[in-house]
Every structure is written in structure tokens, then in C-alpha cells.
């Protein structure tokens, strides 16, 4: 059992902590809004007043935050993770962030004598709760081997992809497909519907066809009714697409479907739908072709 720290107790982070506690680990957590931690405190999680305080009492500290700016905020400054690290510790960031920024922070971590891994995840809330979440990990191989059993307490599939920043890059390369697939699925449903096929029937056929990836099976039904709480909203999805487009520009990789999908998400924001699950791209297309829910 390990002495762990965890920073970022949002939708995914809080559920990860639950699995770590259930596995018998000691966890001290921090979140900008403490009220989100109440349920975890009831389960035995300890509280840290700052990211530095969390790091000071842990052997391995995790972070799961919204974006690059949030990661920089929780790592830097007198109260940040870097201020609490000790030689030999491991800092594991599971956020979806800029690979360049991740490498920069890894160098800052190394200067303290600690080690950093970027370990973003692939999967949704339901995947996590069912114990099927998968990780991609970048950084020193020895540090990876040390934290592997802990990561497997969260999700069973962990793949080492190479040096620092490569897992962050792999996550961006993975996430662009989420939005692109959702857009293609929406196009198929709307084309069928305007041909005279009931929307529900079109969804049923597509979800039982060869195009039904795990993501489409999970999110496809959202075209019939969005969830009350967005699991991955438009702003978060567009953040990932912008990271992908920037990487594409830097690496000379054209990303045409990503670029088009990004514009549809911009339209969603313009329509006041930024806080909806990114499956709302269907609504944008539906209105463009004259259909309503």
C-alpha cells in the first residue's frame, strides 16, 4: 500500500481517489473547491490545504486538472507541487495538456531530484467506474515501473510510450478522434433522418453496425437526449482539438477533419452550448439542416 497525494478532485479525479482508497492506499487530496471533497473525506481521504502540503506528505503525488494553465497553477509558486517535492518522489500528471508544457514541468521536477510521469487516460466516467480505464505513460522507465501497480488499481491497461511528453502527445492524438467520430456519426443520423428514417431507428442501426466504436456506442445515444450533466463539455473538447491543431502545425501534419470539427464546436459555443456535452455538435448540424430535436 502506498502513501499518495491527489490534486484535482473533479468528475474523474474524485472517482480515481475512490478506487485508490478502496485498494487500501492512504490518500491526501486537494481541490480548489473543498466542497467537492466532502464525500471523499467521508470515505477516509485526508485533506491538504495546498498542493505543496499534499506533496510533502506523499511518496507519489497525482494531478488531474482541466488544462495546461491549471497544471501550471498547481505546480508553480510557493504553494505548488514543486515546492513540496523531495528527492526520489514521483509526480504523475494525468491531465490532458500541451506536451511542450508537460516536458517543461518535468524538467522543473527533475531539478528537485524527483521524477515526473505524464500519464493521461483514455476512457469515460463509466469506463473508470467499471474498472476498464486505460493509461498511456511517458517518462523514465524506472519511475514507470514503480507506479505501475498503483495505476493498475485505477485501471487495468497501462502502456509505456516513451520519454516525457510522449504520453501527453498520444492523448491529444487519441482525443481528436472523439469529436471527429461524433461529427461523422451525427452526419449519418441526419442524412438518414432527412431521407425519411426515424431518428431513433437511424441511431439503432448505426449503433449496431461496423462503425460503432466504443465511443460511438457510449455517446451516440446522446443525439436522442443529452445527459443532464456534461461528462466532457464543448470547451474541454475544443481545448483538446486546439492542442491537436497546434501540434499538427508544429509537426507538419495536416488535420483536416479535426479543423472542420473544431469549427462546429466554435459554432456550438456561439449558440450558447459551451457547457453541454460535446455530443451537442449534433444539434449544431441539425439546426443547419433545418431539423429540431
Report the 10 Å Cβ neighbour count for 165.
Answer: 23
How many residues belong to the chain?
293
Residue 188: strand, helix, or coil? helix
Please name the helix (run of DSSP H) or strand (run of DSSP E) that holds residue 263, with its range, or none: helix 256-270
Q: How many CA atoms lie within 13 A of 184 on its CB side?
A: 15
**Contact residues for 238 (Cβ-Cβ < 8 A; gap 6+):** 262, 265, 266, 269, 278
The rounded distance, in Å, linking the Cα atoms of 47 and 30 is 6
CATH of 170-288, one of 1.10.3720.10, 1.10.1040.10, 3.40.50.410, 3.20.20.80: 1.10.1040.10
Q: How confident is the model at residue 293 (pLDDT cuts 50, 70, 90)?
A: low
Cell for 288?
Answer: 443547419
Give the distance from CA 94 to its chain's centroid: 7
Question: Given this model, what pLDDT does residue 98 score?
Answer: 96
Query: Average pLDDT over the chain, rounded to whole?
Result: 96
Q: How confident is the model at residue 125 (pLDDT cuts 50, 70, 90)?
A: confident
Q: Where do the structural domains in the chain lie, given as residue ranges?
A: 3-164, 170-288
User: Among residues 160, 179, 60, 48, which one has the least CA distance to residue 116?
Assistant: 60
Does domain 3-164 fall under CATH 1.10.10.2840? My reply is: no
Give the residue numbers marked as catalytic. 171
> How confident is the model over 272-282, as pLDDT tens digits?
999 999 999 99
Provide mean pLDDT across the span 105-129.
Answer: 95
The rounded distance, in Å, linking the Cα atoms of 77 and 160 is 30
> How confident is the model over 37-58, as pLDDT tens digits?
999 999 999 999 999 999 999 9
Which residue in this structure is represented by grid cell 528527492? 87
The rounded distance, in Å, linking the Cα atoms of 95 and 193 is 38
Angle in degrees, CA 244, 250, 253, rounded to 5: 65
Q: Which residues of 226-248 are buried (b: 16+ CB within 10 A; e: fewer)?
A: beeebbbbbbbbbbbbebbbebb
Q: How confident is the model at residue 162 (pLDDT cuts 50, 70, 90)?
A: very high
Cell for 107?
Answer: 524538467
Provide mean pLDDT across the span 232-243.
Answer: 96
User: Among residues 174, 166, 103, 102, which one has the least CA distance to residue 137?
Assistant: 166
Amino acid at each position: 500500500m502506498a502513501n499518495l497525494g491527489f490534486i484535482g478532485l473533479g468528475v474523474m479525479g474524485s472517482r480515481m481517489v475512490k478506487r485508490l482508497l478502496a485498494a487500501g492506499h492512504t490518500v491526501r487530496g486537494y481541490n480548489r473547491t473543498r466542497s467537492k471533497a466532502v464525500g471523499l473525506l467521508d470515505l477516509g481521504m485526508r485533506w491538504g490545504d495546498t498542493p505543496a502540503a499534499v506533496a510533502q506528505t506523499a511518496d507519489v503525488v497525482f494531478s488531474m486538472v482541466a488544462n495546461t494553465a491549471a497544471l501550471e497553477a498547481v505546480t508553480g509558486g510557493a504553494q505548488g507541487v514543486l515546492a513540496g517535492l523531495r528527492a526520489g518522489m514521483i509526480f504523475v500528471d494525468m491531465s490532458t495538456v500541451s506536451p511542450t508544457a508537460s516536458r517543461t514541468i518535468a524538467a522543473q521536477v527533475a531539478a528537485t531530484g524527483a521524477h515526473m510521469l505524464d500519464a493521461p487516460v483514455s476512457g469515460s466516467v463509466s469506463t473508470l467506474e467499471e474498472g476498464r480505464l486505460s493509461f498511456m505513460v511517458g517518462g523514465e522507465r524506472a519511475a514507470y515501473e514503480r507506479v505501475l501497480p498503483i495505476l493498475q488499481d485505477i485501471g487495468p491497461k497501462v502502456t509505456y510510450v516513451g520519454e516525457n511528453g510522449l504520453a501527453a502527445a498520444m492523448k491529444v492524438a487519441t482525443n481528436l478522434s472523439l469529436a471527429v467520430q461524433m461529427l461523422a456519426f451525427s452526419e449519418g443520423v441526419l442524412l438518414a433522418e432527412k431521407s425519411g428514417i426515424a431518428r431513433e431507428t437511424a441511431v439503432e442501426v448505426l449503433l449496431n453496425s461496423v462503425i460503432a466504436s466504443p465511443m460511438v456506442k457510449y455517446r451516440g445515444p446522446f443525439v436522442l437526449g443529452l445527459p443532464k450533466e456534461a461528462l466532457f463539455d464543448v470547451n474541454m473538447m475544443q481545448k483538446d482539438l486546439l492542442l491537436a491543431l497546434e501540434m499538427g502545425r508544429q509537426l507538419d501534419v495536416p488535420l483536416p477533419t479535426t479543423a472542420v470539427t473544431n469549427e462546429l464546436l466554435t459554432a456550438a459555443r456561439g449558440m450558447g452550448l459551451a457547457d453541454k456535452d460535446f455530443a451537442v455538435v449534433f444539434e449544431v448540424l441539425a439546426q443547419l439542416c433545418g431539423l429540431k430535436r
